[in-house]
């Protein structure tokens, strides 16, 4: 193809990306001049749906935004409402919430690693092709996922849109022996998870480096999942980053702002004016020192550096390795919680409404998920704001796509066919496991040249 002139790649839908997304890429005289990821944003619909409802409803309603990470939505919603009402849920109830969240991490990460992401590294079109010659690996992925599923069923009442969660806690809490029934499955999952780390660490990774600020919750003493303080670090290549800037969650929307960018009519998020990334790479950099020893050893052996001193993984293609380490972490954490579990005195604490605004944030598998609710005196919701990780990551993903394509074009782009570039774009996007929603999604991809 002639490298001069303009061509436009338009991917109407992205295969193996959860939900709906489309990418528009403009290449002009060998340079990528425009990268626009269109993300379908159901949260706006849900924000409108929530207004006028009772303060008890957000966990249930927002869990329907995403079938892959309903627990994340429930947990951020519960925390925001409880924050508004001045209630703290702690002790065994908080442990059970964290356990449920571990189940979701295990399930969601196993889905992404095995069914969506691994085929990219092994030259397979999809998991079906992968299953034909690496059946044992795919079976292992399904087993791990099933373990996460079992936690969700046991605690959440059912795996999709768990029904047992309410503000203040749960409708019903399990007896210790009910939780212990999960232990054996989790021990097997630990072996499978460690094998997963070894499997993905041996993949070939393209050279790539993302230069984004990294943003995650920080919960000193433990790997942040369901609580923590928003923290941002700016890693420099090869250096251990300085301790990050922290700010209270109540100031989230002052720091993370949706802004108009010159080349597009779309709004994109910036953190104090900068491009940033949330998700596994950010969590590993900010919370790595608090990984369980088994997970930390697995990370070191997998070539991710020493998480104990704050190592950073800045190759987005290696996010699959970080996800695998996080599966080990979630399994270890689940086993720890089950081992120490004593049933709470009540399945839920009272959360009487008050006229107030509350905020909540947790680490969804894909990154930081923020909720804010305004309540009237009787608990009626007068406003809702939901900022999911994929919306925050949009600019970083676009930049990763631009870099991936540009570096291919710089390497004698004259022979780069659209098909190859399309595949490259999809890979750069899949690195960040963008979850837009478990909505209906269509698979007709077109590549258009002009």
Which residues of the chain form contacts with another protein (CB under 8 A)? 13, 15-16, 18, 42, 45, 49, 64, 67-68, 110-111, 115-116, 126-128, 131-132, 135, 138-139, 141-142, 145-146, 149, 159-160, 438-444
Identity of the residue, 3 or 67, whose beta carbon is nearer to another protein in the bound complex: 67
| CB nearer to another protein: pick between 16 and 402 | 16
Residues 6+ apart with CB under 8 A from 30: 3, 4, 409, 410, 413
Q: How far is the CB of 301 from another protein (least distance, A)?
A: 27
Which CB sits closer to another protein, 13 or 447? Answer: 13
Write down the least CB distance from residue 438 to another protein, Å.
5
Residues 58, 7: Cα–Cα separation, whole Å: 45
Helix (H) or strand (E) holding 180: helix 176-180
Question: ∠242-271-399 over CA atoms, to 5°?
Answer: 95
Closest distance to another protein from the beta carbon of 357 (Å): 26
The distance of closest approach from Cβ of residue 432 to another protein in the complex, given in angstroms and rounded to an integer, is 17
- Token pair recorded at residue 10: 């338009």
- If the CB atoms of residues 45 and 171 are measured against another protein, the closer one turns out to be 45
Identify whether the C-beta of residue 389 lies closer than 8 Å to the C-beta of residue 364. yes
The distance of closest approach from Cβ of residue 183 to another protein in the complex, given in angstroms and rounded to an integer, is: 20
CB closer to another protein out of 275 and 430: 430
Nearest CB to another protein, comparing residues 112 and 318 = 112
Q: How far apart are the first and last CA of the chain?
A: 12
Burial, 310: exposed, middle or buried (Cβ in 10 Å; 0-12, 13-18, 19+)? Answer: buried
Give me the least distance between CB of 101 and another protein, in Å please. 18
Element at 387 (helix H, strand E): strand 381-387
CA–CA distance, 182 with 175 (Å, rounded to integer)? 12
């Amino acid at each position: 193809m002639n490298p001069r002139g303009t061509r436009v790649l338009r991917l109407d839908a992205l295969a193996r990306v959860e939900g709906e997304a489309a990418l528009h890429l403009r290449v002009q005289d060998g340079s990528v001049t425009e990268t626009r990821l269109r993300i379908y944003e159901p949260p706006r619909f849900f924000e409108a749906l929530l207004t006028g409802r009772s303060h008890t409803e957000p966990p249930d309603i927002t869990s329907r935004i995403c079938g892959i990470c309903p627990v994340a939505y429930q947990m951020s919603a519960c925390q925001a409402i409880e924050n508004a009402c001045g209630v703290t849920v702690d002790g065994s109830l908080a442990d059970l919430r964290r356990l449920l969240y571990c189940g979701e991490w295990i399930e969601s990460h196993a889905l992404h690693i095995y069914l969506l992401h691994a085929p990219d590294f092994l030259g397979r079109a999809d998991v079906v092709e992968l299953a034909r010659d690496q059946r044992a690996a795919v079976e292992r992925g399904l087993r791990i996922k099933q373990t996460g599923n079992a936690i969700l069923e046991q605690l959440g009442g059912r795996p999709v849109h768990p029904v047992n969660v309410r503000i203040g806690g749960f409708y019903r809490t399990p007896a210790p022996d009910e939780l212990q029934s999960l232990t054996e499955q989790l021990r097997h999952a630990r072996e499978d998870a460690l094998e997963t780390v070894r499997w993905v660490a041996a993949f070939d990774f393209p050279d790539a480096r993302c230069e984004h600020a990294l943003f995650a919750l920080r919960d000193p003493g433990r790997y942040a999942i369901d609580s923590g303080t928003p923290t941002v670090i700016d890693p420099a290549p090869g250096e251990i980053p300085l301790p990050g800037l922290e700010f209270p969650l109540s100031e989230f929307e002052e720091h993370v702002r949706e802004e108009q960018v010159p080349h597009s009519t779309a709004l994109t998020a910036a953190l104090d004016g900068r491009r940033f990334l949330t998700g596994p790479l950010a969590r590993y950099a900010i919370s790595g020192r608090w990984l369980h020893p088994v997970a930390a050893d697995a990370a070191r052996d997998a070539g991710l550096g020493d998480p104990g001193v704050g190592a950073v993984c800045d190759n987005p293609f290696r996010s699959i390795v970080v996800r695998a380490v996080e599966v080990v972490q979630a399994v270890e954490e689940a086993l720890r919680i089950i081992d120490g579990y004593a049933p709470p005195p009540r399945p839920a604490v009272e959360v009487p409404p008050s006229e107030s605004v509350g905020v909540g944030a947790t680490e969804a598998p894909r990154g930081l998920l923020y909720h804010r609710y305004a309540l009237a005196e009787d608990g009626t919701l007068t406003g809702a704001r939901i900022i999911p990780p994929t919306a925050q990551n949009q600019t970083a993903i676009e930049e990763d796509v631009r870099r991936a394509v540009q570096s291919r074009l710089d390497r004698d782009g004259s022979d780069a066919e659209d098909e190859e570039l399309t595949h490259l774009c999809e890979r750069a996007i899949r690195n960040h496991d963008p979850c837009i929603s478990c909505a209906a999604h269509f698979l007709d991809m077109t590549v258009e040249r002009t």
